[in-house]
Amino acid sequence: MELEQEKYLYLLFILPVVLLLFLYLQFWKRKKQREFADAVLLKRLSPNKSTFKPVLKLVLFLLAITGLIFGLVNPRIGTRVETIKREGIDVVFAIDVSKSMLAEDIAPNRLEKSKQIVSQIINQLGSDRIGIVAYAGSAYPVLPITTDYGVAKMFLQSMNTDMVSSRGTAINEAINLASTYFDDKETNKLLILISDGEDHSEGAQGAAEEANKLGLKILTIGVGTEKGGPIPIKRNGVTESFLRDKSDQVVVTKMNPEILKQISKATNSNFILGNNTKQVTEFVKNALDGIEKNKFENQQIAEYDSQFQWFLGFALLLLFGDVLLSERKTAWVKKMNLFNEEEK
Of 70, 57, 54, 63, the C-alpha closest to 15 is: 63
DSSP string spanning 155-207? HHHT--TTSS-S-S--HHHHHHHHHTT---TTS-EEEEEEE------S-HHHH
**What is the C-alpha to C-alpha distance for residues 241 and 321, in angstroms, rounded to an integer?**
79
pLDDT score of 328: 59
Q: For residue 108, is the peptide bond before it cis, meaning its omega torsion is within 30 degrees of 0?
A: yes
137 vs 118, more confident = 118
49 vs 253, more confident = 253
pLDDT score of 269: 92
pLDDT, one tens digit per residue, over 8-33 is: 888 889 888 988 998 888 788 777 76
Domains of the chain: 2-78+304-336 (no CATH), 83-299 (3.40.50.410)
Using an 8 Å Cβ cutoff, are 180 and 164 in contact? no
pLDDT score of 91: 93
Helix or strand holding residue 134 (H, E): strand 129-135
CA 211 to chain centre: 33
pLDDT, one tens digit per residue, over 78-106 is: 666 666 676 778 899 999 999 999 999 99
Amino acid at 287: A
Of 121, 117, 189, the C-alpha closest to 159 is: 117
Q: 169 CB contacts (<8 Å, ≥6 apart)?
A: 96, 98, 100, 135, 136, 137, 195, 198, 199, 200, 201
pLDDT score of 240: 85
